[in-house]
Structure 1
């Protein structure tokens, strides 16, 4: 049985919340004659964030600055990697950047530019995470990772009690693991569990493409500076690790602040694979916004602080989320559905840390029964 077919959402009562909300959001775009896709602001932002990744590297190769300055450049590149991940490739791989599939394909493959695989990402994120948010059997984003526990339903280990302290060190390893191993692990996993339903020929071509892109990536960022520009390999390697640590911290924290915080639910399917809830209401119960009024965060994190709007309308470009959030909140209140948010980044971060502490001590359901 394919993984996706194991869990389904079934609402006992016909709920008009999402139908009403979609009509109101569609009306907002129609009445204001606004495209749901990227606008000038989005295009400029894309240019800036890609430049934050590319230009420091060009400067590094061209002028070969002192080691401290080169580390600063690698640091800036790390913020660029995170920015591309949150604000550029994310929208494009949801089909939200443009009506033109070619534009979405090209902008989505900025993920490959920073060492990842757009194909695998869409399977993990668009299918598993967006459909089955906080359902631990399905959502890879909240499954246990090494010494980290993100669900109240998995087995608690003695070291989880300290995860709220050491978690951020492991967060910094995310993108490094991603570019080295994650894409290959997911490639075979998604074929095995049926999430990837491509033919064998298509998958062999995809695997070859991933391998070639990885080789080009590592050759470009590690070999070229040393072989052709004679920059000491140790300096390049340290800068490379710093870039990924910065990107990993930013990306992981931002994503965790939406779902692994206080107030969210972690429902499990019954014996028949059914979650008795409307899918849209499930999204409202498992997702929290943060810092809606912070202009810099709104700009940099690509609307990921508006995760409620993003989960309900993933094909709407994130630059429109601040406007439609008022519609979502008012409609949710009208139907008696919670609209959860933390007003500031620091409130959200404290909530995440509190959740890590709680999950570090809270026994799993099977353990509690035993």
Structure 2
């Protein structure tokens, strides 16, 4: 089975031929016939247990180490654990774990607000809009030109911080990820005032509880210098980890403009990139390396994505739909290259 080359930046050409709305229904039947949409409670019990034990173990180790520079190594470990908690919150939000909304929301708020310090409600609203219109220049909040520009059309209209950073955004992308953890928390607090927030007092209380416990423990155990270093390492690596998990999924793939007409199947497949790498990458990325299948079947349990990817790849080949996958490092090169090309209009004006 072969794959096609990723679309070049700025290219926005839908596949030729008639777009059929029934294609996704055909694919769904093939997937459902193999039971791939069924819940996997055993898998999530093991996964939640391992992440939970890692979190508790990390907290115990923090207090046992006490006033030591070895805490910086532990900060790196806890960054990985927190990121895994974030991936659990993601799965809960998509109802991959529980079919009941209330259970999903309770679990999601515990994982996101209380453990990570990120608003579940804010992220859920933002992520739902992303899934509905991935890589859409005007409708996907993940490619809004707030700090980075994601297309040359956005670059030509950029101003403020996006215009300043856009000149060299390819080089700045990974350094900027060190601030992503901070950005998630700040955006969460800002969202508490939004009318779209359903439970602002509950979410706010959980966020405050997180940061009281987080900063309270750090400054109680470590002197000021080591405490600040611990926070910098932990938050910086958390941001890099989260960014490196989510960036390969869509960045550098087809950017959708208002003029384009795509059915659901093609909209999700053409704007998404899968990342190869086996079980290790599956664990590190929490299954989001199967981004095409995740977007087609958001509530599908993580362990079912591998088989679904095989079915989807075969189906896309039958329909002549480009299906793209690559290695992890190659995906980062494509993301950085796309960002560099997207910022070209800003550099041209500046030059």
- TM-score range relative to shorter protein: 0.7 to 0.9
After TM superposition, what 4+ stretches of structure 1 lie above 6 angstroms from structure 2? Answer: none
> CA 1:151–1:58 in 2, change beyond 3 Å: closer, same or farther?
farther
Corresponding residue for residue 122 of structure 2: 120
Q: Tell me, yes or no, if structure 1 residue 211 matches structure 2 residue 204.
A: yes
Q: For 1:315-354, what aligned pairs fall within 5 Å after superposition?
A: 315-342=299-326, 344-354=327-337
Q: Which runs of 5+ in 1 are unaligned?
A: 1-10
Asked if the contact 2:248/2:332 (under 8 Å) is kept, the reply is yes
Q: Tell me, yes or no, if structure 1 residue 358 matches structure 2 residue 351.
A: no
For residue 188 of structure 1, report the CA deviation from its aligned partner: 4.5
Corresponding residue for residue 279 of structure 1: 264
Q: Distance in 2 between matches of 1:301 and 1:351?
A: 18
Asked if the contact 1:171/1:252 (under 8 Å) is kept, the reply is yes
Corresponding residue for residue 5 of structure 1: none
> CA 1:63–1:14 in 2, change beyond 3 Å: closer, same or farther?
closer
Q: Tell me, yes or no, if structure 1 residue 177 matches structure 2 residue 183.
A: yes
Q: Secondary structure at the match of 1:137?
A: coil
Q: Distance in 1 between matches of 2:343 and 2:313?
A: 32
Corresponding residue for residue 313 of structure 1: 297
Corresponding residue for residue 164 of structure 1: 170
Q: Secondary structure at the match of 2:105?
A: helix
Q: Secondary structure at the match of 2:246?
A: helix
Q: 2:55 aligns with which of 27, 43, 53?
A: 53
Q: For 1:10-25, what aligned pairs fall within 5 Å after superposition?
A: 13-25=19-31
Asked if the contact 2:65/2:71 (under 8 Å) is kept, the reply is no
For residue 50 of structure 1, report the CA deviation from its aligned partner: 3.2
Q: Secondary structure at the match of 2:153?
A: coil
Corresponding residue for residue 95 of structure 2: 95
Corresponding residue for residue 6 of structure 2: none
TM-score (norm: length of structure 1) = 0.81
For residue 223 of structure 1, report the CA deviation from its aligned partner: 1.5
Q: Secondary structure at the match of 1:303?
A: coil
Asked if the contact 1:152/1:266 (under 8 Å) is kept, the reply is no
Q: Tell me, yes or no, if structure 1 residue 223 matches structure 2 residue 212.
A: no
For residue 65 of structure 1, report the CA deviation from its aligned partner: 5.2
Corresponding residue for residue 290 of structure 1: 275
For residue 102 of structure 1, report the CA deviation from its aligned partner: 4.8
Q: Distance in 1 between matches of 2:193 and 2:102?
A: 27
Q: Secondary structure at the match of 1:266?
A: coil
Q: Secondary structure at the match of 1:154?
A: helix
> CA 1:151–1:51 in 2, change beyond 3 Å: closer, same or farther?
farther
> CA 1:219–1:21 in 2, change beyond 3 Å: closer, same or farther?
same
Corresponding residue for residue 72 of structure 2: 71
Asked if the contact 2:151/2:343 (under 8 Å) is kept, the reply is no
Structure 1 window deviating more from structure 2 (106-115 vs 95-104): it is 95-104
Q: Secondary structure at the match of 2:287?
A: coil
Q: Distance in 2 between matches of 1:159 and 1:299?
A: 33
Deviations 1:270-290 (A, max 9, x none): 4xxxx4210221111111101
For residue 347 of structure 1, report the CA deviation from its aligned partner: 1.1
For residue 57 of structure 1, report the CA deviation from its aligned partner: 2.1
Q: Distance in 2 between matches of 1:16 and 1:46?
A: 37
RMSD across aligned positions (CA): 2.3
Q: Tell me, yes or no, if structure 1 residue 233 matches structure 2 residue 224.
A: yes
Deviations 1:44-87 (A, max 9, x none): 222222333332122212341522x111111111011111212x
Q: Secondary structure at the match of 1:155?
A: helix
Q: Distance in 2 between matches of 1:13 and 1:258?
A: 24
For residue 354 of structure 1, report the CA deviation from its aligned partner: 1.1
Q: How many residues align?
A: 324
Q: Which runs of 5+ in 2 are unaligned?
A: 1-16, 157-162
